[in-house]
Amino acid sequence: MITRYSSALILVFFFLACNTEEKSSSSVNKKVDSLINVMTIEEKVGQLNFPVGDLFNTGPTVRTAESTRFNELIKEGKITGLFNVHGATYTARLQKIAVEESRLGIPLLFGADVIHGFKTVFPLPLAEAASWDTEAIELAARVAAIEATAAGINFNFAPMVDIARDARWGRVSEGAGEDPYLGSLIAAARVRGFQGANLSNANTLAACVKHFAAYGAPMGGRDYNTVDMSLQTLHETYLPPYRAAVEAGSATIMTSFNELNGIPATAHTYLLEEVLRKQWGFSGMVVSDWQSIGEMLDHGFVADSLEAAKKAMEAGTDMDMMADIYLKKIPVLIANGQLDQKVLNQAVRRVLELKFKLGLFDNPYLYSDTVREQNEIRSVSNLAAAHEVAKKSIVLLKNENNILPLAKDVKRLAVIGPLANNKEDMNGSWSFFGEAQHPVSILEGIKGKVSSSTKISFAEGCNLYDNDQSKFADAIRIAKESDVVVMVLGESAVMNGEGASRADITLPGVQQQLLEAIHKTNKPIVVLLLNGRPLALEWMDKNIEGIVETWTLGSQAGLAVADVVFGDYNPAGKLPITFPRAVGQLPLYYNHKNTGRPYLGKHEEPLTERVYRSRYRDVPNTPLYPFGFGLSYSTFEYSNLSLSKKSLLDNETVSISVTVKNTSARDGEEVIQLYIRDLVASTTRPVKELKGFQKVLIKADEEKVITFTIGKDQLSFVNEALQTVTEPGRFQVMVGGNSAATLNDFFELK
């Protein structure tokens, strides 16, 4: 039996060891060794157990009800931290119990999903990706980290970097879209933003890149569903963003719910050991997703929770989120000789190393600062940053007859739609900490922008979901009395995110019918779309003059949208994901491969061509809006594509230049995009791949020469042996303002 006296001696010797190591050149590893050597099996397993504290409730009732249970678990060293617990005072109280009342005084982690902001809510990650601005995206993550850490959180279950090509999947809103190159840059930017320059600084969060791996490719776009793909596709398309995040220094990785090629990701040795640790050199901690260790029983991969614990632990999943399986079963496995204690020690080591890196052993209360909590949450500068990022995220999809921007002195303006005067849905999914009363609604933004002489009429028109058309009449009436109609349509926050897959990606409820009814008034219409996924909008594109993809923009949504609608900000966003014409085209993405009978690009070919080609009979193969698409109030002309050489050796590079002219009277930003096609290779290649882009401000009537450099690395691919290779041959270069770019040339790699 360990007495209180002997426990005190253990602590003294441990901290003396730590202090000694501080004065030497030894690393954190030796400090961790000193601690592991005095831990019991139960204490070790406790460091791998991560339960939920407050789910979506943070009030006193929940905390009082849970306090006794959590206090005892903390004292007994049976939990490593708590999920969804925040508040500087509350986390400090729990931390004090861990440090002062548990045997070894090991500090706690406090984790949360800070996906796109904390109290200051930024645009959904998919929306941020539409900015094609990694500095803005990094800033958004930095502000989120500053606010969350001020409220006691030190462990963030973000960024989500899953490549997603199917708009039916609800969690497409959490990532950066369909492209591995763009997705990799954004993954790294978010990790840098969350973690800052030094994890031991009080305003930095340990990032947790998720969901490893290929969670974004479920069959049918249905969340949690099976993923089955070639390893070549996995390595070439789906793994690059995770690797970029690891190379950016992500402290932790989260496994995914799905199985990959028959093995649940939480026990996938190839993913967790061969790829993550051996190939990429990742030395951080791996945490399961919510109860995913236990869910392996439903997968039919294990017979019971004892086997689940063994397989997950041996595969490399260090921490058990919410299942309590490690806590209950690992001591049994150790006692029965079914699990090598070295495997347990390695997992514990990774958790303790994380706590050292976060500075928790030096100052357990580093992240529980009531002064920071008071001063740094929803500050003026944070809200200004959210406003700026929101503007950059907006994509102009259609602007027929230059209906936009609207004049601020328009005489009569009708604002119609179930999302127009809505605050709560402005925060979007995964915004648990954002309060519903804070966001600026679209209607509020419009009212703050127009002149005092403008008469604004508002009608909801319909509800978001149901089939009730009783509100149509009022909306039609104010439309008829207006000069211009602004319709605010789309999805509610709960219609995207986890568990929010949709088989029908048209406007929900009777919003489409409302739009068609207002269209019959023959008034000019601008549609503002609020959504977290691509929608099928073919009727809208054919019939409505102005369409703006505003996504879900967060705290400053109304201000940012009004800036664009009334011309104070020139939109420059580009789609990070393809918009289909119809749900039946999904999954749809720009970097697809050709077939032996490729689509010819025309919907009305001769009968034999139409039937015997890889195509649909009822809709074109082409998307409604391609990847990289987005208009501006400026217009840009591309010309003079030139290559510095038409032939290059393996160790050489080629410079690719293009002239871009702003042919309008307004300054504007353009995202110049470079695509490459490998025309012949040992394994078939996509019809094009994004290999570079530059976001450039070009003044009215100005032209700029934009130059890209391409070398061996950008021309490589993963072959059937899973080797990254570069093969000689002919390559096509395409440059333009979206993935349908037609300006092209060729070069040869010798």
Mean pLDDT of 462-466: 96
Q: pLDDT class for 603, splitting at 50, 70, 90?
A: low
In tens, the pLDDT along 535-580 reads 999 999 999 999 999 999 999 999 999 999 999 999 999 999 999 9
Q: Measuring CA to CA, which residue among 395, 417, 486 is closest to residue 449?
A: 486
The pLDDT, as a whole number, for residue 54 is 64
**Both tokens of residue 224?**
């949690």
Q: Give the CATH number of the domain where residue 650 resides.
A: 2.60.40.10
pLDDT at 1 over 60: no
Burial of residue 532 (CB within 10 Å: 0-12, 13-18, 19+) is buried
Helix or strand holding residue 209 (H, E): strand 206-212
Same domain, yes or no: 425 and 540:
yes
Mean pLDDT of 385-397: 99
Mean pLDDT of 335-339: 98
Same domain, yes or no: 661 and 533:
no
The pLDDT, as a whole number, for residue 28 is 86
DSSP lists the bridge partners of residue 675 as 690, 734
Same domain, yes or no: 492 and 384:
yes
pLDDT at 532 over 90: yes
pLDDT at 98 over 70: yes
The pLDDT, as a whole number, for residue 80 is 98
Same domain, yes or no: 556 and 644:
no
Q: Give the CATH number of the domain where residue 380 resides.
A: 3.40.50.1700
Q: pLDDT class for 13, splitting at 50, 70, 90?
A: very low
In tens, the pLDDT along 260-319 reads 999 999 999 999 999 999 999 999 999 999 999 999 999 999 999 999 999 999 999 999
In tens, the pLDDT along 205-249 reads 999 999 999 999 999 999 999 999 999 999 999 999 999 999 999
Which residues are designated catalytic? Answer: 289
Same domain, yes or no: 676 and 551:
no
Q: Is residue 258 part of a domain?
A: no
Same domain, yes or no: 396 and 498:
yes
Same domain, yes or no: 488 and 401:
yes
The pLDDT, as a whole number, for residue 165 is 98
Q: Is residue 24 part of a domain?
A: no
Which carries the bigger pLDDT value, residue 604 or residue 516?
A: 516
Quote the mean pLDDT of the chain. 94
Same domain, yes or no: 547 and 642:
no
**Both tokens of residue 74?**
């903390």
pLDDT at 63 over 70: no
Q: How many Cβ atoms are within 10 Å of 744's Cβ, its own excluded?
A: 14
Q: Is residue 538 part of a domain?
A: yes
Q: Is residue 649 part of a domain?
A: yes
Which carries the bigger pLDDT value, residue 601 or residue 499?
A: 499
**Cα–Cα distance measured from residue 129 to residue 126, given in angstroms and rounded to the nearest whole number:** 5
Same domain, yes or no: 562 and 650:
no
Q: Is residue 526 part of a domain?
A: yes
Helices 341-357, 28-36: axis angle to 10 degrees equals: 130
Q: In the chain, how many domains are there?
A: 2
In tens, the pLDDT along 128-187 reads 999 999 999 999 999 999 999 999 999 999 999 999 999 999 999 999 999 999 999 999
Are 506 and 548 a contacting pair, CB within 8 Å?
Answer: no
Of 28-32, 324-328, 413-417, 564-568, the range with the lowest mean pLDDT is: 28-32
Q: pLDDT class for 608, splitting at 50, 70, 90?
A: low
The pLDDT, as a whole number, for residue 599 is 85
**Cα–Cα distance measured from residue 167 to residue 221, given in angstroms and rounded to the nearest whole number:** 7
Q: Is residue 697 part of a domain?
A: yes
Phi-psi region of 150 (alpha: psi -120 to 50; beta: other; left: phi over 0): alpha
pLDDT at 16 over 50: no
**Cα–Cα distance measured from residue 633 to residue 648, given in angstroms and rounded to the nearest whole number:** 39
Distances, alpha carbon 675 to alpha carbons 232, 544, 688, 734, 738, in Å: 21, 31, 6, 5, 9
- Choose one of 566, 601, 623: the last residue of a domain: 566
Output the pTM of the full model: 0.95
In tens, the pLDDT along 619-648 reads 999 999 999 999 999 999 999 999 999 999
The pLDDT, as a whole number, for residue 602 is 66
Q: pLDDT class for 8, splitting at 50, 70, 90?
A: very low
Q: pLDDT class for 66, splitting at 50, 70, 90?
A: low
Same domain, yes or no: 643 and 542:
no
- Choose one of 512, 547, 566: the last residue of a domain: 566
pLDDT at 744 over 50: yes
**Cα–Cα distance measured from residue 190 to residue 200, given in angstroms and rounded to the nearest whole number:** 18
In tens, the pLDDT along 684-703 reads 999 999 999 999 999 999 99
Give the domain extent around 641.
636-749
**Cα–Cα distance measured from residue 259 to residue 131, given in angstroms and rounded to the nearest whole number:** 32
pLDDT at 17 over 80: no
Percent of the chain with pLDDT over 90: 91
**Cα–Cα distance measured from residue 325 to residue 331, given in angstroms and rounded to the nearest whole number:** 10
Q: pLDDT class for 340, splitting at 50, 70, 90?
A: very high
Q: Is residue 110 part of a domain?
A: no
Helix residue ranges, H only, 427-510: 442-447, 472-480
pLDDT at 6 over 50: no
Same domain, yes or no: 559 and 641:
no
- DSSP type of residue 620: -
- Choose one of 533, 566, 599: the last residue of a domain: 566
Q: pLDDT class for 27, splitting at 50, 70, 90?
A: confident
* Residue in the block written with tokens 């009080």: 202
Q: Is residue 522 part of a domain?
A: yes
Q: CB-side exposure of 498: number of CA atoms within 13 Å?
A: 12
Count, residues in the chain? 750
Same domain, yes or no: 556 and 664:
no
